[in-house]
Amino acid sequence: MTVLDWILVGIRLAHALAAVAWVGGSIFFLLVLRPALKKADGGGTVGRLAGAEFRSVVNTAIAVLVLSGVILSVSRLTSTAVSLPYVIVLSVKIAVALYIFGATWLLQRRSGVNNSSTEGSLVARVRCALVSPVAIIIGGTIAIGLADVLDALFERGLVG
């Protein structure tokens, strides 16, 4: 393996760790920490502080994912082992990633606002559901699954 190959392995590792930290951390935050904090202090000061700390983890993960994703995409797309199905799946993964980045940004913007997602029209409730922690977790899980599909398609292209 060349030095460039080792650098790409490190970039792949950073990409995977950022995805796992974000998605896994979101699952932990949603299913364990947030309910425990609501019971402990009514979702008050500690809950807001935990949310702010996790927000910095998410923002760092997004930066790492964008930078490493661009590098890895360019690296793979310049290979002769790339097929049309690979490009299609990569495009879907990028679209899912853009959706969850946007949903996260919108969720962070409205986190300080009193949000009444149970009131209002069906359209308002659907909009709130599409920009919810659960939607972000589902999107992140899909993106991680698509990464495995991309690896399989790339390996198949290497074999011929």
Q: What band does 112 get if pLDDT is binned at 50, 70 and 90?
A: low
**Cα 133–23–131 angle (5° rounding)?**
25
Percent of the chain with pLDDT over 70: 92
pLDDT single digits (tens) 50-93: 888 899 999 999 999 999 999 999 999 999 889 999 999 999 99
- Domains: count for the chain: 1
Summarize pLDDT for 13-42 with one digit per residue, the tens.
999 999 999 999 999 988 998 888 888 776
Q: What does the alpha-carbon distance between residue 36 and residue 41 come to, in Å, rounded to a whole number?
A: 9
Name 123's Cβ contacts closer than 8 Å, sequence gap at least 6. none
CA distances (Å), origin 36, targets 4, 40, 142: 45, 6, 27
Give the relative orientation of helices 84-110 and 133-159 as an angle to the nearest 10 degrees: 160
Confidence of residue 124 (pLDDT cuts 50, 70, 90): confident
> DSSP secondary-structure letter at 32?
I
Task: Tell me the C-alpha to C-alpha distance, in Å, between residue 71 and each of 29, 97, 115, 121.
Answer: 30, 15, 38, 42
Among positive and negative, which fits the CA dihedral 114, 118, 119, 120?
A: positive
Instruction: Establish how many alpha carbons lie within 13 A of residue 143's alpha carbon, considering only the half-sphere containing its beta carbon.
Output: 27
pTM over 0.85: no
User: What mean pLDDT, rounded, does the chain reach?
Assistant: 88
Q: What is the pLDDT of residue 126?
A: 83
Q: Containing domain of residue 41, as a range?
A: 3-159
CA–chain centroid gap for 43, Å, is 25
Nearest to 60 by CA among 14, 109, 18, 108: 18
As a whole number of angstroms, the distance between CA 138 and CA 147 comes to 14
